[in-house]
């Protein structure tokens, strides 16, 4: 709807605002769920979850302040600035949902997680359509985006009530300090990964035009929507990995290889279908108006599916074996690689370069993960091959 009604430039503003805010949504996770889920698999969880909620609300307030201040001092288009300011309150809804998701993951209740997403997506959709049909500005669309996240967070809280005695947050600052000291390498990795993943869009906006950002973000949005597949797979598989690693390391490695093969097979299918169908998909979304080059960008991005799918499982493997600092170094190297190549090639090749660098960067990440994992398992006398 946005691509058809607003064209390349305003779509660029809208999608870049979402990309900017997505950094803060992801950082609000802070890597805590990966650390806390093993503790939620056994024993009483209510008190710990309420302290986690207090931590996340505190963190959300800090992130909201940073997001709003950052866009106020950043020399950007006023429309972009207004869209971000209106949408930045969604950080709170995202944070609440992420906190509830820790319970859903530990209980393997992804039906409850899906329910929250459906409510947060479908309920605001008529209002979104109404604003577009009446030609309201991009900031109004961000208000609907905010409403969606608030509904998503509220629905998640209602669903989690069956497992928690009280939904009131507990602001335990000794607990907050303890958790931060334990998870800071995961947090740093998450921040690095988030910047690495979407740095190209901001470099593109600085060196090129919002129209080119709009073209690239259209292809990237389609690409990113397909990456929910490995995310959902790993959300379900992570608790199983934890149990296998603690009980039987040979079984852990055997299941890891099976999961990697599954990921590769699904990724290969995804690449083939995207290469074939990208012109049709882009044409349907845009109505055949503008966005020239988006289908080629999408085809280039699809070549990275095998790397993204496999790196997803390898990243959670490193989390399971608690190689937090090693993981942080890997993503730091990926960020430097991404930054340098984008700065060199985007001025000449625009979003085609951004697409290609994304592909190369993810294969570098996978290579480093495999090398580290083989060395770690060798030290533990567990063979991967």
Decide if pLDDT at 383 tops 60.
no
- Domain around 6: 1-171
- The CA-atom distances, in angstroms, between 113 and each of 41, 87, 156, 293, 306 are 17, 22, 7, 36, 26
Say yes or no: 28 and 67 in one domain. Answer: yes
Residue 337 lies in a domain: yes
Dihedral sign computed on CA atoms, order 305, 307, 310, 314? negative
Instruction: Over range 136-147, report the average pLDDT.
Output: 92
State how far the Cα of 341 lies from the Cα of 353, in Å rounded to an integer. 8
Within 10 Å of residue 365's Cβ, how many Cβ atoms? Answer: 25
Say yes or no: 105 and 18 in one domain. Answer: yes
> What tens digit of pLDDT does each residue of 304-334 get?
999 999 998 888 888 888 787 888 899 899 9
Q: What are 379's two structure tokens?
A: 């030290």
What is the DSSP track for 208-265? S-HHHHHHHHHHHHHHHHHTHHHHHHHHHHHHHHHHHHHH-HHHHHHHHHHHHHHHHH
Residue 343 lies in a domain: yes
Residues 6 or more apart in contact with residue 252 via CB below 8 angstroms: 241, 244, 245, 382
Q: What are 119's two structure tokens?
A: 């409510």
Domain boundary among 171, 198, 225: 171
Say yes or no: 208 and 347 in one domain. Answer: yes
State how far the Cα of 385 lies from the Cα of 378, in Å rounded to an integer. 10
Residue 288 lies in a domain: yes
State how far the Cα of 59 lies from the Cα of 314, in Å rounded to an integer. 28
Say yes or no: 47 and 135 in one domain. Answer: yes
Give me the number of domains the chain comprises: 2
Say yes or no: 195 and 113 in one domain. Answer: no
State how far the Cα of 334 lies from the Cα of 328, in Å rounded to an integer. 10
Residue 176 lies in a domain: no
> What tens digit of pLDDT does each residue of 355-373 get?
999 999 999 999 999 998 8
Say yes or no: 109 and 198 in one domain. Answer: no
- pLDDT class for 384, splitting at 50, 70, 90? very low
Residue 273 lies in a domain: yes
Decide if pLDDT at 291 tops 50.
yes
Res 144: pLDDT: 94
Residue 177 lies in a domain: no
Ramachandran sector of residue 288 (left: φ over 0; alpha: ψ -120 to 50; beta: rest)? left
Within 10 Å of residue 173's Cβ, how many Cβ atoms? Answer: 11
Which residue from 28, 161, 38 is spatially nearest to 93, judged by alpha carbons?
28
Residue 265 lies in a domain: yes
Domain boundary among 147, 171, 195: 171
Which residue from 77, 80, 304 is spatially nearest to 197, judged by alpha carbons?
304
CB 298 within 8 A of CB 271: no
Res 385: pLDDT: 45
Indicate the helix (H) or strand (E) that contains 102.
helix 90-107
| 21 half-sphere exposure, CB direction, 13 A CA radius | 28
Say yes or no: 234 and 279 in one domain. Answer: yes
Say yes or no: 135 and 192 in one domain. Answer: no
CB 254 within 8 A of CB 269: no
Indicate the helix (H) or strand (E) that contains 206.
helix 173-207
Instruction: Over range 3-10, report the average pLDDT.
Output: 86
Res 232: pLDDT: 79
> What tens digit of pLDDT does each residue of 257-282 get?
888 898 899 999 999 999 999 999 99
> What tens digit of pLDDT does each residue of 166-208 get?
889 989 888 888 888 877 777 788 788 778 878 888 898 888 8
Say yes or no: 192 and 135 in one domain. Answer: no
Say yes or no: 328 and 348 in one domain. Answer: yes
Please state the length of the chain.
Answer: 385
Say yes or no: 63 and 147 in one domain. Answer: yes
Extended beta strands in the chain, E state:
none
| Phi/psi of residue 89, nearest 5 degrees | -65, -20
Helix (H/G/I), strand (E/B), else coil: 109: coil
Res 35: pLDDT: 73
Within 10 Å of residue 55's Cβ, how many Cβ atoms? Answer: 25
State how far the Cα of 65 lies from the Cα of 44, in Å rounded to an integer. 34
Say yes or no: 95 and 197 in one domain. Answer: no
Decide if pLDDT at 239 tops 50.
yes
Domain boundary among 171, 193, 221: 171
Residue 242 lies in a domain: yes
State how far the Cα of 109 lies from the Cα of 287, in Å rounded to an integer. 38
- The CA-atom distances, in angstroms, between 211 and each of 11, 60, 85 are 8, 32, 22
């Amino acid at each position: 709807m946005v691509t058809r009604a607003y064209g390349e430039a305003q779509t660029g503003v809208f999608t870049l605002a979402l990309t900017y805010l997505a950094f803060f949504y992801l950082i609000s996770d802070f890597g805590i769920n990966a650390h806390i889920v093993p503790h939620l698999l056994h024993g009483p969880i209510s008190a710990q979850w309420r302290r986690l909620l207090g931590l996340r609300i505190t963190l959300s307030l800090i992130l909201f302040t940073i997001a709003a201040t950052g866009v106020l001092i950043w020399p950007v288009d006023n429309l972009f600035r207004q869209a971000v300011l209106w949408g930045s309150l969604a950080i709170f809804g995202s944070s609440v949902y992420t906190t509830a998701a820790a319970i859903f993951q530990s209980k393997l209740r992804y039906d409850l997680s899906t329910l929250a997403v459906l409510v947060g997506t479908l309920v605001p959709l008529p209002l979104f359509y109404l604003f577009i049909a009446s030609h309201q500005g991009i900031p109004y669309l961000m208000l609907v985006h905010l409403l969606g996240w608030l509904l998503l967070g509220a629905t998640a809280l209602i669903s989690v009530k069956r497992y928690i005695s009280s939904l009131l947050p507990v602001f335990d600052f000794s607990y907050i300090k303890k958790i931060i000291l334990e998870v800071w390498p995961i947090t740093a990795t998450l921040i690095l990964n988030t910047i690495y993943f979407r740095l190209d869009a901001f470099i593109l906006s600085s060196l090129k035009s919002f129209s080119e950002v709009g073209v690239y973000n259209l292809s990237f949005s389609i690409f990113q929507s397909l990456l929910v597949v490995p995310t959902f797979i790993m959300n379900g598989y992570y608790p199983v990995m934890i149990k296998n690693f603690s009980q039987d390391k040979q079984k852990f490695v055997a299941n890891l290889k099976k999961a990697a093969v599954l990921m590769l097979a699904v990724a290969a299918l995804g690449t083939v279908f995207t290469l074939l169908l990208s012109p049709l998909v882009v044409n349907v979304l845009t109505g055949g108006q503008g966005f020239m080059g988006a289908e080629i960008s999408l085809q280039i991005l699809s070549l990275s599916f095998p790397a993204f799918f496999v790196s997803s499982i390898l990243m959670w493997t490193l989390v399971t074996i608690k190689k937090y600092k090693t993981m942080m170094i890997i993503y730091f190297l990926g960020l430097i690689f991404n930054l340098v190549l984008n700065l060199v090639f985007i001025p000449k090749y625009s979003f085609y370069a951004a697409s290609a660098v994304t592909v190369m960067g993810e294969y570098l990440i996978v290579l480093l993960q495999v090398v580290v994992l083989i060395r770690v398992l060798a030290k533990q006398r567990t063979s991967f091959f």
